[in-house]
Amino acid sequence: MKIVHSVADLRQALATTRRPAFVPTMGNLHDGHLALVRQAQPLGDLTVASIFVNRLQFLPHEDFDSYPRTWEADCAKLESAGCDLLFAPRETDLYPEPQTFKVQPDPALADLLEGEFRPGFFTGVCTVVMKLFSAVFAGRPEGVALFGKKDYQQWRVLRRMVEQFALPITVVAGETSRAPDGLALSSRNGYLSEAERAEAVQLSLALRSLAREAVALAHALPQQREALEARALADLRARGWQPDYLTVRRRQDLQAPGAGDDLVVLGAARLGSTRLIDNLEI
């Protein structure tokens, strides 16, 4: 696996590549990231990953400085998973000057759920991904970018961004990787204490329960669906969680569902000091 740090070196390393398959990450890699790398391999003529902890998507009170950075372990994992090229820019490589031009996503998709509780988050995500896309795909007729469905809203936002800007990039989703007990794999799971880790699976269980109830009430009125969501929130609070949302939405645009829509249940909740997110397509 070749490792480069500057945009110029990345472009030189990609000079003969026609169709890169790209997996952007913030490092502290787990099996979900590696599954995306393996999924990428048959989709392009070179498998590229990036590691960059993006300051723009962290709110002032969030964990940018303490976000786990596990460089040597990450490199070993990527190489063993078959990554060909790792782009690991320093902050000055990707942001050589203050990033005053930013990508503002559609508020109808980005300002609800995660965007409501983390204002500005998706602007930071879209801006850094657009810069990474420019670095990886510039001058190429086509490319593939892979994102995990665990960050369901993020995947939807980025796919819509690619469509809106008519980028020659196919966005491919990877299914959520889970621990044997059902907990969605996340870089932030490492923050959990032993007792919190045992409790953490309750978020996925709450979503499964909400999904079953939503299917049973397939033609529910909005107030019936809201009552289901309120009960799910109350049940988590009773276990000591601080939930932001547990909700049933239309997959396509994460709006309130109507009859016949494909559905997804999504949740975000804080357990101790750790905020976890998860989702389940119905």
Question: How many CB atoms sit inside 10 A of residue 36's CB?
Answer: 27
Please choose, from the candidates 150, 233, 149, 241, the residue with its C-alpha nearest in 3D space to the C-alpha of residue 188: 150
Please choose, from the candidates 175, 122, 123, the residue with its C-alpha nearest in 3D space to the C-alpha of residue 150: 175
State the catalytic residue, choosing from 5, 33, 61, 219: 33
Q: Give the full edge-to-edge strand order of the sheet including 169-174.
A: 2-4, 85-87, 46-51, 20-25, 143-148, 169-174
Cα 195 vs. chain centroid, distance in angstroms?
26
For helices 202-216 and 222-238, the axis angle rounded to 10 degrees is 160
33 an active-site residue?
A: yes
**Cα→Cα distances 169→12, 150, 164, Å:** 20, 21, 12
Catalytic residue positions, numbered: 33
